[in-house]
């Protein structure tokens, strides 16, 4: 790893070997617990409490703890390949961009279109998102990963415009006492361990990767502490989670289909690029019931995030440092009255964030060295919400909800107002607006009608969502724009779906149409503006079919069109793009898994062949340059050697295809994040 970045590792000492070694003592004090078999999937994301997923009147996917362990993802995209309508495209190292019923959105505030959360609490504060924020979550050791698609439930507000990814921490009762060691291609190593006592569980992992491209790779550590307890009439659950990433980043390779050239794909045009990220979060939940008709939940929380990275994708290669810390509380009450079920609540979040952008070397009068931006933002978000579920008959139900939310920003410029350039600059790229205050208020709501039988749910749903402008869109301006006059993005969605479950076959199909207004973008003058319109329509499905006691098939697929729906002059376009496909939006993608489990034959071996595909897509708003798409074949296997020892294998890109994880067109060139060649990771897990 690059020598100038060893400042971070000392902060994670408390999560390192001492924590891993302490698992033995936790295991010694643990009590054996047998979890009851799950008769159906339970979803907590939609209402902050356990809810039968089969009857939920909107599209969702839940990845169970067993699925997470089976995938054993080295990167989050390997897990989200199993979610219909979701494509988490892999950057270099642990970087990623999210697509969820949407194109892969880029730009300073694009991450605000998706809510990523842990136990229902946003990983990053409202208004302070980061496109790579998924790497903060301990996905490998999660209890489940729940994905709600489209404008979501009223317990979430801004940032839940296209959907929610909620990572639930593993309860104490289901946390295994185990130690796992993995090693694989290109110096990949991961050590993970977990252990549980009666009320507390700890899970931790540390990984290292040497990288495929020159001068790349990373080390990463994550740990989760979980608490489950009873106190008087209260049920208490809580979690403390931290992560740290130290990464040498490889930049785009350039040139048409350069990813097919083995030598070019191993090059790193930005060996100086790096990323350091640290995050920590904690919450305590207090839940109490009265007379089986009322349940109250209080959940105070805090979060702390910091990140430093080189903006290697810009020719002048400035460095950004951002950080924010928050405190907040979520409150809710559930009331049951005959055929009615009310969910009421209030949320509050207080955040202080800072951003500094500097450039060490002179590039041009328009991109000078020195401090480009240095500002602080105090933000407050308050919200109230209500949701009603009404059982009209034993078969028919109506759901309706409303959330009203306000976000206030108090921005302080800590350097000179105005241009960051000298008077000789002809078109300065950096403009610092004067200190100011801004506020945004909006609402999200939904209404759904559904019909339920023992095996089938049919539903129709209307929903509205929004996202407020992010701090970087408001206060990191360019080209002389003194004030960013932008509004919150809003989206209206209509959705229809069917969910069916038989003894050996289950499927979930949904179709949606979404129209977004006041979409925020950079125009040709590099001004942050709003007013664009886009449309998003598609159909997606998930299938699970147990063919026999040995063979099963699972898979998901999505077909969608994402288009510009207004006459705008977007940065990078040459003319009107109304009606064009939005770039980085493949019309279809998905995965298929064929699994064989030979346990019924007395042989403790299971294996899976996985086929992934991504269709071609445009890489510029003019729809003049495209990426041809790709198909990949992966293999997973598990061999139970004994009651306490299990061997695993994860092999990716078995056919050794040259491909791009993500393609782009910028500054007059095709640019690609390289897909890695054939790789294999062997693992052994010991039950303690």
The stretch 268-282 carries a mean pLDDT of 97
* Rounded Cα gap, residues 222 and 325, in angstroms: 19
* Rounded Cα gap, residues 647 and 413, in angstroms: 56
Is residue 30 over pLDDT 60? Answer: no
Sheet holding 253-254, edge to edge: 253-254, 669-674, 660-666
Is residue 19 over pLDDT 80? Answer: no
- Quick one: pLDDT at residue 573? 81
User: pLDDT tens across 246-272, in order?
Assistant: 999 999 999 999 999 999 999 999 999
- Quick one: pLDDT at residue 152? 73
Helix (H, G, I), strand (E, B) or coil at 69: helix
Buried b (16+ CB within 10 A) or exposed e, 659-672: bbbbbbbeeeebbb
The stretch 668-681 carries a mean pLDDT of 95
| Residue 139 exposed, middle or buried by CB count within 10 Å (0-12, 13-18, 19+) | buried
* Rounded Cα gap, residues 416 and 660, in angstroms: 42
- Quick one: pLDDT at residue 13? 36
* Rounded Cα gap, residues 14 and 21, in angstroms: 11
* Rounded Cα gap, residues 221 and 250, in angstroms: 20
- Quick one: pLDDT at residue 528? 87
CATH fold label, 9-31+46-687:
Maltoporin; Chain A (2.40.170)
- Quick one: pLDDT at residue 229? 97
User: pLDDT tens across 559-597, in order?
Assistant: 999 999 999 888 778 888 999 999 999 999 999 999 999
- Quick one: pLDDT at residue 472? 95
Percent of the chain whose predicted confidence (pLDDT) is above 70: 94
- Quick one: pLDDT at residue 570? 85
What is the number of alpha carbons within 13 Å of residue 658 lying toward its C-beta? 11
Strands 114-118 vs 163-169: parallel, antiparallel or unpaired: parallel
* Rounded Cα gap, residues 467 and 444, in angstroms: 10
More confident residue, 332 or 11: 332
| Bridge partners, residue 605, by sequence | 639
Is residue 39 over pLDDT 90? Answer: no
What's CA 276's distance to the chain center, in Å?
18
The stretch 477-496 carries a mean pLDDT of 91
Q: In this structure, are residues 580 and 622 in contact, taking their beta carbons and an 8 Å threshold? A: yes
- The owner of tokens 């724009």 is 481
User: pLDDT tens across 455-474, in order?
Assistant: 999 999 999 999 999 999 99
* Rounded Cα gap, residues 279 and 276, in angstroms: 10
* Rounded Cα gap, residues 234 and 220, in angstroms: 36
| Residue 642 exposed, middle or buried by CB count within 10 Å (0-12, 13-18, 19+) | exposed
Is residue 667 over pLDDT 90? Answer: no
Is residue 209 over pLDDT 80? Answer: yes
Is residue 136 over pLDDT 60? Answer: yes
- Quick one: pLDDT at residue 481? 87
- Quick one: pLDDT at residue 31? 34
* Rounded Cα gap, residues 308 and 275, in angstroms: 6
- Quick one: pLDDT at residue 9? 40
- Quick one: pLDDT at residue 625? 95
Rg, C-alpha atoms of the chain:
25
- Quick one: pLDDT at residue 132? 93
Is residue 16 over pLDDT 80? Answer: no
The stretch 408-432 carries a mean pLDDT of 93
E-state strands within 23-155: 42-43, 51-52, 60-64, 86-90, 96-100, 114-118, 121-122, 142-149
| Residues found in the chain | 688
More confident residue, 451 or 7: 451
Query: Domain residues of the chain, as ranges?
Result: 9-31+46-687
User: pLDDT tens across 286-323, in order?
Assistant: 999 988 899 999 999 999 999 999 999 888 999 999 99
Is residue 24 over pLDDT 70? Answer: no
- Quick one: pLDDT at residue 106? 83
Q: In this structure, are residues 353 and 324 in contact, taking their beta carbons and an 8 Å threshold? A: yes
- Quick one: pLDDT at residue 12? 38
pLDDT category of residue 600 using cuts at 50, 70 and 90: confident
- Between 164-178, 397-411, 560-574, 606-620, the lowest mean confidence (pLDDT) is in 560-574
Percent of the chain whose predicted confidence (pLDDT) is above 90: 84
Is residue 550 over pLDDT 70? Answer: yes
């Amino acid at each position: 790893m690059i020598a100038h970045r060893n400042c971070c590792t000392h902060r994670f000492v408390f999560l390192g070997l001492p924590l891993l070694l302490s698992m033995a003592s936790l295991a010694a004090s643990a009590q054996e617990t047998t979890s009851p078999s799950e008769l159906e999937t339970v979803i907590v994301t939609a209402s902050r409490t356990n809810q039968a997923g089969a009857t939920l009147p909107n599209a969702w996917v839940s990845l169970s703890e067993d699925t997470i362990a089976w995938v054993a993802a080295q990167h989050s995209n390997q897990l989200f390949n199993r979610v219909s309508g979701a494509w988490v495209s892999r950057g270099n190292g642990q970087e990623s961009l999210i697509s969820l019923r949407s194109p892969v959105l880029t730009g300073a505030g694009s991450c605000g279109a998706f809510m990523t959360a842990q136990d229902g609490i946003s990983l990053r504060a409202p208004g302070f998102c980061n496109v790579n924020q998924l790497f903060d979550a301990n996905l490998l050791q999660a209890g489940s990963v729940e994905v709600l698609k489209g404008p979501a439930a009223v317990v979430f507000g801004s940032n839940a415009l296209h959907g929610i990814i909620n990572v639930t921490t593993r309860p104490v009762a289901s946390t295994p006492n185990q130690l796992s060691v993995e090693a694989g291609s290109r110096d990949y190593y991961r050590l993970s361990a977990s252990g549980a006592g009666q009320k507390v569980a700890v899970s931790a992992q540390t990984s290292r990767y040497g990288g495929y491209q020159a001068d790349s790779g990373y080390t990463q550590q994550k740990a989760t502490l979980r608490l489950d307890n009873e106190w008087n009439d209260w049920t208490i659950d809580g979690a403390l989670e931290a992560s740290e990433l130290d990464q040498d980043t490889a930049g785009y390779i350039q040139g048409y289909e350069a990813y097919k050239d083995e030598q070019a794909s191993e090059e790193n045009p930005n060996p100086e690029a790096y990323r350091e990220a640290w995050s920590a979060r904690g919450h305590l939940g207090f839940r109490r019931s009265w007379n089986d008709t009322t349940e109250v939940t209080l959940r105070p929380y805090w979060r702390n995030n910091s990140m430093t990275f080189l903006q290697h994708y810009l020719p002048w290669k400035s460095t950004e440092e951002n950080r924010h810390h928050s405190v907040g509380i979520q409150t809710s009450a559930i009331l049951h009255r005959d055929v009615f079920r009310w969910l009421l609540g209030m949320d509050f979040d207080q955040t202080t964030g800072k951003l500094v952008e500097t450039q060490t070397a002179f590039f041009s009068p328009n991109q000078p060295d020195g401090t480009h931006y240095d500002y602080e933002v105090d933000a407050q978000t308050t919200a109230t919400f209500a949701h009603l579920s009404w059982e009209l008959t034993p078969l028919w139900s109506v759901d309706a909800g409303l959330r009203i939310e306000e976000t206030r920003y108090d921005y302080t410029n800590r350097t000179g107002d105005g241009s960051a350039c000298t008077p000789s600059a002809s078109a300065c790229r950096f403009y610092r607006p004067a200190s100011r205050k801004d506020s945004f208020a909006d609402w999200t709501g939904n209404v759904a009608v559904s019909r339920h039988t023992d095996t089938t749910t049919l539903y129709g749903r209307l929903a509205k969502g929004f996202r407020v402008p992010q701090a970087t869109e408001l206060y990191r301006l360019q080209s002389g724009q003194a004030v960013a006059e932008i509004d919150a993005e809003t989206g209206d969605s209509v959705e229809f779906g069917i969910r069916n479950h038989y003894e050996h076959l289950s499927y979930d199909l949904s179709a949606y149409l979404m129209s977004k207004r006041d979409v925020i973008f950079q125009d040709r003058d590099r001004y942050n503006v709003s007013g664009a319109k886009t449309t998003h329509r598609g159909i997606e499905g998930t299938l699970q079919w147990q063919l026999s006691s040995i063979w099963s098939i699972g898979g998901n697929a999505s077909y969608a069109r994402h288009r510009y729906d207004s006459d705008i002059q977007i940065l990078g376009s040459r003319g009107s793009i109304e009606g064009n496909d939005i770039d980085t939006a493949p019309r279809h993608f998905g995965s298929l898994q064929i699994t064989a489990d030979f346990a019924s034959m007395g042989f403790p071996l299971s294996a899976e062949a996985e086929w992934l595909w991504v269709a071609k897509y445009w890489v510029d708003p003019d729809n003049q340059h495209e990426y041809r798409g790709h198909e990949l074949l992966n293999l997973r296997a598990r061999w139970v050697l004994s009651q306490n020892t299990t061997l695993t294998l994860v092999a990716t890109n078995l056919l050794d295809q040259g491909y791009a994880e993500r393609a782009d067109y910028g500054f007059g060139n095709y640019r690609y994040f390289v897909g890695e060649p054939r790789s294999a990771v062997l693992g052994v897990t010991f039950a303690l």
